[in-house]
Amino acid sequence: MFVNGVWEKGVRGETFQVLNPATGEVLADVADCNQEDARRAIEVAHASFPEWASLTAYERSRVLYKAHQLMLERREQLARVMTQEQGKPLRAALNEVGYGADFLLWYAEEAKRIYGETIPAPRAGQRFIVAYQPIGVVAAITPWNYPASMITRKVAPALAAGCTLVLKPAESTPLCAIEIFKILEEAGVPSGVINLVTASDPRPIGEEFVTNPLVRKITFTGSTATGKLLGSGAGAHVKRVSMELGGHAPFLVLKDADPIHAAKGAGLVKFLNTGQACICPNRFLVHDSLVEAFTNELVSRVQKLQAGNGLKPGIAIGPLVNLKAVDKVERQVHEALSKGAQLLTGGQRLTEGQLSNGFFYAPTVLGGVTPEMLIYREETFGPVAPIIPFSDDDDFLAMANDTDYGLAAYVYTQNLAAAMKTFEGLQFGIIGINDINPTAAAVPFGGIKESGLGREGGREGLQDYLETKIGGFAI
């Protein structure tokens, strides 16, 4: 753990192992912290808050610029750590480090633009000003699927705003968090401003985050189930929360789309991170006139994807995070097949040769998926593309919106009016129109319905770390 500028083992002095999901080998032992450690980290963050908050925006900005530069200098090293502990192919890891660094740069710039305003008063002799101040100590919990960028997406705006922070990274990927904290330390973040608590059991840490009155905000990225738990706990203590939760993204191929172009996009975005992204499409709703062309192209692309250890060149499909994840994918595929879906490619665990030591599942395409199947509603978080044909008689918007989630959605069409109507009608926070990468540090990322609260990135991502204060002046 990293508390008050010192790397330590935690009060119990215990450690837990970090495994490589591609090979099963032990990569490192890291501190296994408990609730007491979390409490101490929070107290340190609280004590460090007044000084950090009182620096000028320019001073805080300089630290973030430096961190951005260092993160890019260490891109290759950090990407290797990520591939080893999380499994994504090295090229994807390099991309993620770049995306993660983008948040440091964006918020280095935004730190200087936390503008207030004046509001005309209804009474003579009165003036109103609005000022934004840092919210205080932030407790952050991050997931394993994007173990670097999900950290900088929270830490950068928190630091820009003048907040101090305690982070608990996911138990399977603490090594990226450790590397990022080293970068932040070297960039000049003062002792105590950022604190890292690694733990094999997240529950006592979460409990302390929720109940400790010194924590003013909880920012969480992870599953909807955990988000509900933390959100309801934080609600009982009237703490601010930001939540980026699960998704069940529809991928719409409308009748005037180019099915080949759509299949190319589908192949890329579905199998990104082996399907382990909250914005991965989970349902491919394809107009029946295009199903054949779309499916043939997608299947032929998927059959070329090679699974294996992401450190090897040419690998497109890394392992899943653990055995539970493989079991879930297998259960969804078997259930869909038993209810009449067609297996077009894949559909089994990969256990040949060296793959037997890791958690691999073949990239899979299912045809003829219907609403009765589990995969139609349940988030897969794995490499399975279920194709659901629709006809002119079907209300494709209602089908796309038929989910409790509302994170990302994708639409392929060459018709401008259809694109606009679909964009407006989809109940999702992130819409890609002929675009499989509708994200950037500069745009607000987040979901509606059970996919989350608040936005990360962009100008809005900073507002979540600020309190609004008004001053009424009688003169």
Q: Is there a catalytic annotation at residue 244? A: yes
Q: 219 or 422: whose CB is closer to ligand ADP? A: 219
Q: Which residue number is nearest to ligand ADP in terms of Cβ?
A: 206
Contact 8, 31 (CB under 8 A): yes
Shortest Cβ 393–ligand ADP spacing (Å): 37
Shortest Cβ 352–ligand ADP spacing (Å): 27
Q: Which of 85, 244, 297, 456 is catalytic?
A: 244
- Separation CA 308–CA 317 (nearest Å): 6
Contact residues toward ligand ADP (CB under 6 A) are 141-143, 170-171, 202-203, 205-206, 222-223, 226, 229-230
Q: 1 or 262: whose CB is closer to ligand ADP? A: 1
Q: Which of 33, 278, 280, 297 is catalytic?
A: 278
Q: 223 or 427: whose CB is closer to ligand ADP? A: 223
Q: Regarding beta strands 215-221 and 137-141, do their DSSP bridges make them parallel or antiparallel, or are they unpaired? A: parallel
Q: Is there a catalytic annotation at residue 450? A: no
Shortest Cβ 41–ligand ADP spacing (Å): 14
Q: 72 or 453: whose CB is closer to ligand ADP? A: 453
- What the block records as the tokens of 288 is 């029946």
Shortest Cβ 277–ligand ADP spacing (Å): 11
- Separation CA 242–CA 451 (nearest Å): 11
Shortest Cβ 291–ligand ADP spacing (Å): 32
Q: 89 or 143: whose CB is closer to ligand ADP? A: 143
Q: 205 or 384: whose CB is closer to ligand ADP? A: 205
Output Rg (C-alpha) for the chain, integer angstroms: 23
SS3 per residue for the chain: CEECCEECCCCCCCEEEEECCCCCCEEEEEECCCHHHHHHHHHHHHHHHHHHHHCCHHHHHHHHHHHHHHHHHCHHHHHHHHHHHHCCCHHHHHHHHHHHHHHHHHHHHHHHHCCCEEECCCCCCEEEEEEEEECCEEEEECCCCCCCHHHHHHHHHHHHHCCEEEEECCCCCHHHHHHHHHHHHHHCCCCCCEEECCCCCHHHHHHHHHHCCCEEEEEEECCHHHHHHHHHHHHHCCCEEEEECCCCEEEEECCCCCHHHHHHHHHHHHCHHHHCCCCCEEEEEEECCCHHHHHHHHHHHHCCCCECCCCCCCCCECCCCCHHHHHHHHHHHHHHHHCCCEEEECCCECCCHHHHHCCCECCEEEECCCCCCHHHCCCCCCCEEEEEEECCCCCHHHHHHCCCCCCEEEEECCCHHHHHHHHHHCCCCEEEECCCCCCCCCCCECCCHHHEECCECCCHHHHCCEEEEEEEEEC
Q: 143 or 458: whose CB is closer to ligand ADP? A: 143
Shortest Cβ 150–ligand ADP spacing (Å): 9
Shortest Cβ 202–ligand ADP spacing (Å): 3
Shortest Cβ 116–ligand ADP spacing (Å): 35
Q: 185 or 379: whose CB is closer to ligand ADP? A: 379
- Separation CA 84–CA 89 (nearest Å): 9
- Separation CA 54–CA 46 (nearest Å): 14
Catalytic residues: 244, 278
